[in-house]
Structure 1
Amino acid sequence: MIESIQQFDVELFLKINRGLSNGFFDWLMPLMRNRFFWSPLYLFIVVFCIVQYKKQGCYIIGMVLFTFALGDLVASRLIKPFVSRVRPCNDLSLANDIIHRVPCGSGLSFPSAHATNHFAIAVFLICIFYSRWKPILPIGLFWAAIISFAQVYVGVHYPIDVTVGALLGTTIGLITSRIFKTLQPEF
Structure 2
Amino acid sequence: MLLQTAPAPGAWERLLAVLKEWDFAVFLKINTVWTGAFGDFLMPILRDQRTWYPLYAFLFIYVIYKFRWKALPFIIIAGLTVVLTDQVSSTFFKNYFGRVRPCNEEALRGMARLLLDRCPSSGSFTSSHAVNHFGLATFIYITLKPYFGKWGLLFFFWAAFICYAQVYVGVHYPGDVSCGAVLGVLLGGFTAWIFKKYFNFGNRKRGDLTTASPTV
Which range, TM-score by smaller chain?
Answer: over 0.9
Structure with larger Rg: 2
TM-score, normalization by structure 1:
0.96
In structure 1, the residue matched to 2:104 is 90
1:23 pairs, out of 22, 33, 37, with: 37
CA distance in 2, matches of 1:112, 1:175: 19
Select which of 145, 153, 159 maps to 1:130: 145
Mark the runs of 5 or more structure 2 residues left unpaired by the alignment. 1-14, 203-216
**Runs of 5+ unmatched residues, structure 1:** none
> Secondary structure at the residue paired with 2:50?
coil
CA displacement, residues 88-121 of structure 1 (integer Å, 9 cap, x when unaligned): 0011111110111112111110000000000000
* Off by >6 Å, runs of 4+ in structure 1: none
* Counterpart residue number, 1:81: 95
CA displacement, residues 50-70 of structure 1 (integer Å, 9 cap, x when unaligned): 122112212111111000000
- Return the match for 1:142 from 157, 181, 187: 157
In the alignment, which of 172, 181, 184 is matched to residue 196 of structure 2?
181
C-alpha distance in 2 between matches for 1:11 and 1:154: 15
Q: TM-score, normalised by structure 2?
A: 0.84
TM-superposed CA distance for 1:158, in Å, is 0.3
Q: Displacement of 1:134 after TM fit?
A: 1.4
Displacement of 1:137 after TM fit? 3.0
What is the CA distance between 1:4 and its match in structure 2? Answer: 0.9
2:123 aligned to which of 73, 94, 108:
108
Tell me the distance in 1 between the aligned counterparts of 2:59 and 2:115.
Answer: 29
Q: For residues 46-87 of structure 1, what are the alpha-carbon distances to aligned partners after superposition, in whole Å with 9 as ceiling and x for unaligned? A: 222112211221211111100000000110101110000000
Q: Which amino acid aligns with 2:148?
A: W
Counterpart code for 1:169: G
Letter in 1 for 2:183: L
Q: What is the RMSD of the two structures over their aligned residues, measured on CA atoms? A: 1.1
Kindly tell me the number of residue pairs found equivalent between the two proteins. Answer: 187
CA distance, structure 2, for counterparts of residue 110 and residue 87 of structure 1: 8
